[in-house]
Amino acid sequence: MKMFSIAEFGSLSRHTMDMYSDRDLLLVCPSKSKLRLHRRYSRLGYNVSALSERQLRSMKESGSLFLQHLKNEATILIDSDGMLRSFLNSCELISPMESEIAKCEATLRFVLSCPQSPDLTAWKADFLFCVSRDYLIKRIARTGRGIFELEMIGRACQELFDLRPEEFNPLRELRKAKSDYRSEKSPNSRIRFEIDAWFSVLMRRFAVDFNGVSEFCFVRDAKSFSSYRFNSHYERLRFLEGLYLVACAKGLIHPNHELLMKHIRQPNLYGSSRQFKETRIQKYITDVVDRLSGSSVRPGISLPRRGVFIANVG
């Protein structure tokens, strides 16, 4: 029997929602039903993570902490023969390897190198918040604890890393900026300072090495990323998002704009394999770089700025 399950998780399940919270929903179903159900629940205002049973089992093998998040906090609404609950109960916390921590730190350095121009500040704040939260969850999990709620993460960081309470404030502000970005609101005018402040905290309290990191320019330097080795598929996808924001602001629209945006906004729904997705996203990066560098320029219209809706980055 195929697993068919629907579960709420995150602040919605914890009953701690505020105006900056997402309404997170997990959908586990056969591939043939994924797109239809994703659309249905997205229209109801949910941020949907659509996974297959095969993907869940692969995540278990890799020790994904997202499964611990679900195990500890999910409210299961529909569950065929209790399959999801039984599966989650079988998932034990696996301490992240040092290589996973190092990969997160490499992505943080990549975020620091991204431009902080007015068109990209909100995107960068969103990107930085998501990567930082994942990084802190993994650092805490190294001590054998699965903690996912932001304020609990902050308290654990005070205990484990001598973080002063006020030093956590920039990350709280980045969370608000993420919410504004995804709802297409203008970011707080001080968010640039909060971004810089949080990078300082990461360096001072978590010993993230930012030495030698310099800011690149999407227009001037993007061509080098056509062959760049990204740290993860998530990093590659967020880079495409920022790159395309710059292109759209210049009126350079990709011929397959709608499909490109679907890959950015709904990354779990398009493509039959991980390799296919990575190859497709890399091709889009190359196409947009060509447009920014003057090749195949096609005027278009600028578009609303929306973020990548990914519940799990690890």
Residue 114: the pLDDT is 95
Residue 219, pLDDT score: 86
**77 half-sphere exposure, CB direction, 13 A CA radius:** 11
Q: What's the average model confidence in pLDDT over 89-110?
A: 97
Non-local CB neighbours of 229 within 8 Å, separated by 6+ positions: none
Residue 222's pLDDT band, with cuts at 50, 70 and 90, is confident
- In sequence order, what are the beta bridge partners of 28? 5, 51
5-9 β-sheet, strand order: 47-51, 24-28, 5-9, 75-79
Largest CA distance in the chain: 56
Burial label for 306, CB within 10 Å (0-12, 13-18, 19+), is middle
pTM of the model: 0.91
Half-sphere exposure of 301 (CA within 13 A, CB side): 2
Question: Secondary structure of the chain in the HEC alphabet?
Answer: CCCCEEEEECHHHHCCCCCCCCCEEEEECCHHHHHHHHHHHHHCCCEEEEECHHHHHHHHHHCCHHHHHHHHHCEEEEEHHHHHHHHHHCCCCCCCCHHHHHHHHHHHHHHHHCCCCCCCHHHHHHHHHHHHHHHHHHHHHCCCCCCCCHHHHHHHHHHHHCCCHHHHHHHHHHHHHHHHHHCCCCCCCCHHHHHHHHHHHHHHHCCCCCCCCCCCCHHHHHHHHHCCCCCCHHHHHHHHHHHHHHHHHCCECCCCHHHHHHHHHCCCCCCCCHHHHHHHHHHHHHHHHHHHCCCCCCECCCCCCCCCCCCCCC
Mean pLDDT of all residues in 134-155:
97
295 falls in which pLDDT band (50, 70, 90)? Answer: low
> Quick check: 271 pLDDT over 70?
no
Q: Percentage of residues in the chain with pLDDT exceeding 90?
A: 70
pLDDT of residue 274: 75
Instruction: Return the pLDDT at 189.
Output: 85
Which pLDDT belongs to residue 100? Answer: 96
CB 165, CB 182: distance < 8 Å: no
At 194, give phi and psi (nearest 5°).
-70, -35
Greater confidence (195 vs 314) lies with 195
Reported as a pLDDT band with limits 50, 70 and 90, residue 277 is confident
* pLDDT at residue number 314: 34
Mean pLDDT value across residues 10-26: 90
Contact in structure between 201 and 192 (CB atoms under 8 Å): no
Please tell me the predicted confidence (pLDDT) of residue 272: 59
